[in-house]
Structure 1
């Protein structure tokens, strides 16, 4: 079996970089947990990387051909993923609206309470949320199942090559999410102020909800 040429590795790395730097559910989900506690953001990012390696393994096993034969499978993934993002976004929007409706003093107390309640999120819950977000992201499925195979030359070990490319994507994605987590940790005190905290919750939640709607609509087009 032939090893992957450097041109294939660099070509895929370029595509991966564009995808990694594009704002998506992984960005807002990591920030949401990182603002709670930095280590929760790390756990969420690790969960996403686990699912990314799962997508890479499926690509190496030839699941792309299965999805071409049965496109309904991809549609189901898109519907479930869109519904999950919509659930996360709407749930947080309701919380943000409740905080905004309180008086200034009450909002301050509620925000602090919400931040303290963040400790209720265990590392496993953060890890699981990250895994679900990436596993149900149809764009990641499209990236690995449709765009990855062309970067693997004929004669190469399909599964091994796919896992190598998946590892490249995962490392780049994890590094980017760790930068976001570090920024969130440094700005934690500012983000926890009542007004900023409420608006941050609104923006991140609205982004997740909008992405969920876009994914759901796209699933039926």
Structure 2
């Protein structure tokens, strides 16, 4: 696989990884209980992400072999979805930022209740289920991967490589977040942090959607 494709996908994946979502709050919840539980939850999420990558590679490969035009259709649908997601979040930023801050505070309180302990197995299982039952994650893979897989290459192999890159970046981010959460819980209670993360990630998703749509028609 060309280095340009790998670097391009890594840049887009970074935007997705840094965007706050259910998996982020789940990792924080377990991290605030015990740092090692946050790491275990993150590992569980990466298992499901690799599963999504495999399914995306197999599905896209089968579809492209029969209907080559489906590549463009996937890019159009995926780009439109990303654009909708980004613009929708920006329009509702004021309300969503408040909800995000409230969710973070609730999660922090529930994770630090005396007597509440999670095992490593429970943490891993929670991470696997969280990502496996996230349909948006699967759609993002279908939208992001095809433009970065060279024509004529092994779709499954390429998808697994890109999935591994996404998983590695996601795990690194969640590991850092876990370490920070364990030492500075009060910082994550600040509504200002959630507001800026929401604005930046929403704008990035909208831009990503435009880029995918342009690429589909070109």
Query: Which interval holds the TM-score relative to the shorter structure?
Result: 0.5 to 0.7
Report the equivalent of 1:75.
none
Residue 63 of structure 1 deviates from its aligned partner by: 5.3
**1:117 matched to 2:77:** no
Unaligned 5+ runs, structure 1: 69-88, 97-110, 204-221
Partner of 1:133: 130
Partner Cα separation in structure 2 for residue 31 and residue 181 of structure 1: 6
Which residue in the other structure is 2:21 paired with?
A: 24
1:11 aligned to which of 8, 11, 18: 8
1:167 Cα offset (Å): 0.5
* 1:177 matched to 2:166: no
Q: CA deviation at 1:54?
A: 0.3
SS at match of 1:118: coil
Query: How do 1:39-54 residues align onto structure 2 when only pairs under 5 Å count?
Result: 39-54=36-51
Asked if 1 retains the 8 angstrom alpha-carbon contact of 2:39 and 2:175, the reply is yes
Name the CA shift for 1:63/1:133 in 2 (closer, same or farther; >3 Å). farther
* Counterpart Cα distance in 2 of 1:52 and 1:20: 12
> Which range is displaced more, 163-172 or 128-137?
128-137
The number of aligned residues is: 152
With over 3 angstroms needed to count, the CA separation of the structure-2 counterparts of 1:62 and 1:170, relative to structure 1, is same
Which has the larger Rg?
1
Question: Over aligned residues, Cα RMSD in angstroms?
Answer: 3.1
Structure 1 stretches of 4+ moved >3 Å: 63-66, 111-116
CA contact (8 A) 1:55 1:145 kept: no
2:33, 2:111 within 8 Å by CA — same for their partners in 1? no
1:122-161 correspondence to structure 2 within 5 Å: 122-161=119-158
Secondary structure in structure 1 of the residue aligned to 2:127: helix
Q: TM-score, normalised by structure 1?
A: 0.60
User: Is the contact between residue 58 and residue 145 of structure 1 (CA under 8 Å) also seen in structure 2?
Assistant: no
Separation in 2 of the partners of 1:161 and 1:112? 41
Gaps of 5+ in 2: 65-69, 71-98, 195-218
Contact preservation (8 Å) 2:50, 2:163:
yes
CA 1:158/1:136 → structure 2, altered by over 3 Å: closer, same or farther? same
Instruction: Give the TM-score normalised by the residue count of structure 2.
Output: 0.61
Could you report, residue by residue, the CA deviation over 1:149-181 in whole angstroms, capped at 9, with x for unpaired residues? Answer: 221111211111111000000010101001110
Alpha-carbon distance change, 113 to 139 in structure 1, aligned in 2, over 3 angstroms: closer
Secondary structure of the equivalent of 2:116? Answer: helix
